[in-house]
Chain A
Amino acid sequence: MKNTFIPVLAGAVVAMTAVSAANAATLDDVKKKGFVQCGVSTGLAGFSNPDDKGEWTGLDVDYCRAVASAIFDDPKAVKFSPLSAKERFTALQSGEVDILSRNTTWTMSRDTQMGLAFVGVTYYDGQGFMIPKSLGVSSAKEIDGASVCVQTGTTTELNLSDYFKANGMTFNPVVLEKLEEVNAAYDAGRCDVYTTDASGLYAIRLTMSKPDDHMVLPEIISKEPLGPAVRQGDDQWFALNKWVYFALLNAEEMGITQANVEEMKTSENPNIKRLLGVDGDFGASVGLSADWAVKVIKGVGNYGEIFARNVGTETPLGIERGQNALWTEGGLQYAPPVR
């Protein structure tokens, strides 16, 4: 007894101090384990959804693949953690995931009180309502007294209260934790109205047993800038993530695509040369190689290609670029220059 007690105690002491010290740089950890751990949704078509082969696809998924490409030159070096809206922040705060790329709205309290740092806005969205056509309603102003299905732990839940209050209407919330449960409850007729981000509504409508029986109301009641987030306190990882996103936008602006990225290296345009690492080494300061942007674009394409592939007009979701077009084309997507 006496002989084993001291080593056990010593072991416990070491274990506890190890916990205190565990705050190494995220990039080093990621490089050591060989993949990026990415928090995604439990399944939202167009944003993060496993396809029929079990591969994760979507706009949010491709962002994580872009980061993995930048670090490992391999868009597949990502492991995905499906998270409910309720689990997501704790998962990021506790270090369970390296990036949270899960159609998450950027708000002040999340930025300042929850230890999150939002990288950028990968999709400008707004909250809307979906109803069954049989209700014969054409405007969100006519849904006084309705039962509303909503997912717990979202900005949606708060906007909903604000909207009904501002318009002097009442509602019955039906709050469920998992997206699939909300979908099922709405499909079963438990609620009159489904509310979430408009992009989500279009995706969810497709999963209903009869998609044509449902319609999305024209009103958009909030600003929902969706984007990936990382933990605060690791500026290098934050900068890396931010610039991977900017690289996607800059590549589209400069006309660099997955197909032509190799040719573009010979371009005479100094902006393109800097982005692709032909001229200068901008990668080193964020712990990457000089041609990091080439790897990103080779891995997933530019922002426009990602958008078109996952949610664009050619996909079942059929979403127009709208606010998500580049600033040069009247949209809001704008990236600072590489310089």
Chain B
Amino acid sequence: MAVQNETGDPPAKSRGGSVPSFVYDPVVRGYVFQFLLAAVLVWLAWDIASNTAENLQRANIASGFGFFDDRAGFEIAQSLITYSSDSSYGDAFIVGLLNTLLIAVLGIIFATIIGFLVGIARLAPNWMLRKVATVYVEIFRNIPVLLQLLFWYKAVLSVLPQPRNGIEMPFGANLSNRGMIIPRFIPQDGFAIVVIGFAIAVVAAIVIARWAHARQMATGQQFKTMRVVLALIIGVPVLLYLVTGMPLEVEYPVLTGFNFRGGIALKPEFIALLLGLSIYTAAFIAEIVRAGIKAVSWGQSEAAYALGIRPSLTTRLVVIPQAMRVIIPPLTSQFLNLTKNSSLAVAIGYPDLVSVFSGTVLNQTGQAVEVIIITMAVYLTLSLSTAAFMNWFNSRMRLVER
């Protein structure tokens, strides 16, 4: 093909002119094949969809999304919204979704914190610390996460006592195999003032930080931003809380009959899942952090020291910003992994989306196709949103080239 065109003549002429030139035009051919491919894909998708619909109808299986408004009739162990067996399947879906989001967000926070600490520990000058971190990474990175979850669940259940022999914890909390029961704070009248005060303090802190940064850029003068900001964010709400006469009522858990009444229960399933996912993902994050720090050449630190910058400032201002550029992209995929792995909750009975929606709801309605499609769409949306956020964050952290 390439040989024919080397003469530089249009291909149509060399063929004698009986065939229209666009047949041999690579651009036109490209479009034609792409169009054909797209047509085949659309046809395939349509065929699968219509086939499924037809088969469902023939097998007399109900279809459609009307079941969302039907009464669910079952209870869910943990719910962030008001839910009872009288709620609808739609409500059950939201409960499952929120439980998944809760575990994903908390898991990401804990995994990131543990991961950064272990990653830095792996580069620490202290021999012991370094080895402990290495052992942690090698163990937890190399065992399947499902096994780890089952291990944590069994561990949590077998170590903890029955509720009537529960371990008393500080501040009226209680630890047993029904989970960690902590006191619940119930806001009274006037608590809104504390919340508003807190919001104003946060806004003020941002303004001060911006001003301090601008002033340092212009004049070189530094400002004790951290101390002032902390004082604002903690001090203002505490002061307002005291002034308004402590408008919070504490509800302590009380053992009645079998179980505790009152308080907030962190169920063993939740604790095991959070532990398992965080510890597993943190092992990967630790390696990413180590790689990121290692990727910053030693010359950068040397240069900073040569300019007389202190080691702690060197790490904060020279090494970490450059390491972040290496760390963030692989970190994103770890966050996505954690979110997707949270669906393993079903194995240990945590009521996440997969357990509640594509477990119980699927079974009670029998509408496997609809339920699974919705579940997949939810995970896809979650993952794409996380990725979009991390891409935005990455572009902010990127090296600004001048």
Q: Which of A90, A152, A157, A171 contacts B368 (CB 8 A)?
A: A90
Q: Are B346 and A177 in contact (CB under 8 A)?
A: yes
Contacts of B355 in A (CB 8 A): 152, 175, 177
Residues of chain B having any CB pair with chain A under 8 Å? 40, 44, 47, 51, 54-56, 58-62, 73-77, 85, 154, 157-158, 162, 177-178, 256-259, 261, 268-269, 346-349, 351, 355, 359-360, 362-366, 368
Residue interface bits A84-106, CB-to-B below 8 A is 1, else 0: 01100110010000000000000
Q: Are A161 and B85 in contact (CB under 8 A)?
A: yes
Q: Are B59 and A115 in contact (CB under 8 A)?
A: yes
Residues of chain A having any CB pair with chain B under 8 Å? 9, 12, 16, 19-20, 23, 85-86, 89-90, 93, 109-110, 112-115, 135, 143-147, 152-154, 157-158, 160-162, 165, 171-177, 181, 184-185, 188-190, 192, 231-233
Residue of A nearest to B365 (CB): A113
Q: Are A174 and B77 in contact (CB under 8 A)?
A: yes
- Write 30 A-B pairs (CB below 8 A) sorted by A numbering: A12-B40, A16-B47, A20-B47, A86-B359, A86-B362, A89-B366, A93-B366, A113-B62, A115-B59, A115-B61, A146-B258, A153-B359, A153-B364, A154-B363, A158-B364, A161-B73, A161-B85, A171-B75, A172-B77, A173-B74, A174-B349, A175-B351, A177-B347, A177-B349, A181-B348, A184-B154, A185-B157, A188-B158, A190-B157, A192-B258
Given contacts A109-B366, A152-B359, contact A175 B77 (CB under 8 A): yes
Which A-B residue pairs are the 3 nearest by beta carbons?
Answer: A153-B363, A114-B366, A161-B85
Contacts of B268 in A (CB 8 A): 190
Question: CA–CA, A160 to B72, complex, Å?
Answer: 13
Q: Which has the most chain A C-beta neighbours within 10 Å: B62, B364, B368? A: B364
Contacts of A192 in B (CB 8 A): 258-259
Contacts of A146 in B (CB 8 A): 257-259
Contacts of A233 in B (CB 8 A): 58-60
Q: Which has the most chain B C-beta neighbours within 10 Å: A93, A135, A144, A172? A: A172
Q: Are B59 and A232 in contact (CB under 8 A)?
A: yes
Q: How far is the CB of A17 from chain B (nearest CB, A)?
A: 9
Q: Are B366 and A110 in contact (CB under 8 A)?
A: yes
Residue of A nearest to B77 (CB): A173
Contacts of A12 in B (CB 8 A): 40, 44
Q: Which of A89, A115, A174, A188 contacts B154 (CB 8 A)?
A: A188
